[in-house]
Chains A and B, each alone.
Chain A
Amino acid sequence: MKALLFACCLVFSATVAKADLPKPKPPEKAAKYVLHTSLEIATDPKAYEAKLQISESSLKELRAALDGAPGNGAIVGGIALSPPRTIIAGLLMFMAISIAGILLARSPSFGRTQKTVGAVVLVAVLIGVAAIITRANAGPPGSYRWRNLPQALAEGKPTFGGVDIEIVPDADSGAKMRLVIPLKK
């Protein structure tokens, strides 16, 4: 009987102890990048409420991006979603590079040094083009266009720049929209 009571107490205490454990945290959802588009921040002294105006084409793109449709996004999106076209493009580029190499090698008007330099330039151009196509985000950082925002707001002038649209979990955003401007101090 004592043994039975001891066993019951042990089980009960274990249950109480386990029940006291905090609820396991759900895995953190990262913000999901959806679309890069343009944004204008403007002031209107006659308005009584802040307004978020979205053009029809932007809404269409956003909808397409959310649905996972190709839309009109960056070139890289088109590549990822179109394997046949990518294969054809790859084969053609392979032929272009091969024939250019053969022509360069057989050309009597170029010396060995010039051919080597030509080959290096060709490879560099190829890598550069590939980098532009796949990354396609060359140029100054996005924060550059927003650098004069405080001054422009004070003067009532519009400011125009790029914006990444991200979908964030409700827990992080507090179920409201948030605009983050990359201003450097």
Chain B
Amino acid sequence: MSAVTINRTTDDSERNPDFILCHQPPDLFGVVVFVSILAAAVFASWLPLQISIVTVFLFAGPHNWFELRYFLMRLPVRFGRSRNFFLTAFAGLGVLTLAYVSLPFVYNTQLWGDEAWSTIIAGWNTALLFWLGLLVWLRSRQKRRANWTWTIPAGLALCSLNWLGPDSFSLALVYVHPLIALWFLDRHLRRTRPAWLRVYRRCLCLLPLVLAAMIWQLTQSSPLPDSNGLFWRITQHSGAEMLPQVSSHLLVSVHLFLELLHYGVWIIALPLIGGLAGARVWDVKTVPVARHPRGFPRVVGMLLIAGFAAVVVLWFGFAIDYSTTRDIYFTVAMAHVLAEAPFLLRML
């Protein structure tokens, strides 16, 4: 039994340079995750608008930088057999982001009626689902044992629901996206700290219970004030206009709770669990694609510096005009939402 274990860990170490044998009991990790989930729920329910403003100001930019670094860590030096997968991923990422960023300009031309606008939104969502389907298909070709054919009817069903309610589908993306970070953490733990995986998954079971408690507690709460432009933006982002029968306090709190977990995973959990390589986030040489003899240290370094500059610019923007910067950020940030898909598929 022990021989099997030793062989397995050796294989894992070879496949994953950041694999660290961990003999510490996972209880402390479980306690930290448990307390974090509860704390996020309490703060999000208590002062949703105020904490949303502070959270986005402080963590929105840095969490994108940490994501960029994490994706660079996962990028192979040569694409090899995955060439088509990565080409499709980057092409789709570029086209879909450009199309998404252009949507506000299209809307401002006022050439389209409500119905035509819904069709445009449904069209973009369909393109997104098609791109995801294509990536799943390309990835499934590399995994002979896996049977991912069920994703075809699932994708078509999602497409159908999207055409029934394009705005509802877009709102669902807003709520589902933060949960993807938890999936990343699950896969990362499986690779680097398998001993912690069981505790982590038990903590995840707490999530629906916490959400149910929040809904139960806030469902009868008064709607949040949306008297000024900023508060109005925050409530709209959480779907207050689309769901007038649901308290905006509940919507903003649930969305903020998920966002807090999302930021926590990207900024705290993943870098710390990554061990020394993850802790020295400023060191370009900790990124495999830069460390490799045939790698690209300058490109990686420039990307990380440019990302850091963007974070600083974002902070200045928030300090000068919070509302406008928030609008611009959440439009451009679609790129990081899309980028998560191919890298998550690579980890499956």
Contact = CB atoms under 8 A, between A and B. Distances in A.
B156 A72 contact: no
Given A82-B115, A85-B118, A145-B220, A90 B247 contact: no
B119 interface: yes
Contact of A85 (B164, B168, B245): B164
A61 B156 contact: no
Interface size class of chain B, counting residues whose CB lies under 8 Å from the partner chain = 35 or more
Interface in B213-236: 219-223, 226
Contacts of B245: 36-38, 162
Interface string A77-113: 0110110111011101101110110010000000000
B153 A79 contact: no
Contacts of A42: 222
B244 A58 contact: yes
Nearest to B154: A96
B150 interface: yes
A40 B220 CA distance: 9
A89 B164 CA distance: 6
Contacts of A58: 244
Contact of B242 (A38, A72, A100): A72
B163 interface: yes
A92 B114 contact: no
Nearest to B164: A89
A12 interface: no
A40 B223 CA distance: 9
Contacts of A161: 220
Chain B at the A interface: SS class: helix
Given A85-B122, A145-B220, A96 B114 contact: no
A94 to B, nearest CB: 8
Interface in A37-69: 37-38, 40, 42, 55, 57-58, 61, 69
Interface string B140-157: 000000000110111111
B222 A160 contact: yes
A88 B244 contact: no
A75 interface: yes
A145 B223 CA distance: 15
Interface residues of A, number: 38
A36 B244 CA distance: 8
B161 interface: yes
B118 A93 contact: no
Chain A at the B interface: SS class: helix
Contact of B153 (A97, A145, A162): A97
Nearest to B232: A57
B327 interface: no
A117 B241 CA distance: 40
B225 to A, nearest CB: 10
A142 B253 CA distance: 23
Nearest to B227: A55
B261 interface: no
A75 B153 contact: no
A10 interface: no
A133 B164 CA distance: 9
A92 B159 contact: yes
Given A89-B164, A96-B156, A103-B153, A37 B220 contact: no
Given A82-B118, A103-B150, A160-B221, A96 B244 contact: no
B76 interface: no
B244 to A, nearest CB: 5
B94 interface: no
B149 A70 contact: no
Given A40-B222, A93-B160, A78 B118 contact: yes
Given A96-B156, A103-B153, A78 B220 contact: no
Nearest to A142: B245
B275 interface: no
Interface string A13-41: 00000000000000000000000111010
A29 B165 CA distance: 33
A145 B250 CA distance: 15
B153 A99 contact: yes
Given A37-B245, A161-B220, A96 B163 contact: no
Contacts of A61: 244
16 contacts: A36-B244, A69-B114, A70-B114, A70-B115, A84-B119, A85-B119, A86-B164, A88-B163, A89-B160, A90-B160, A92-B160, A93-B160, A145-B219, A160-B220, A160-B247, A161-B220
Given A88-B163, A162-B245, 17 more contacts: A36-B244, A38-B223, A40-B223, A57-B244, A72-B241, A81-B115, A85-B163, A85-B164, A86-B164, A89-B163, A90-B160, A93-B156, A95-B153, A97-B153, A99-B152, A103-B152, A159-B220
| Top 5 A-B pairs, shortest CB-CB distance | A96-B156, A100-B153, A92-B160, A89-B163, A93-B160
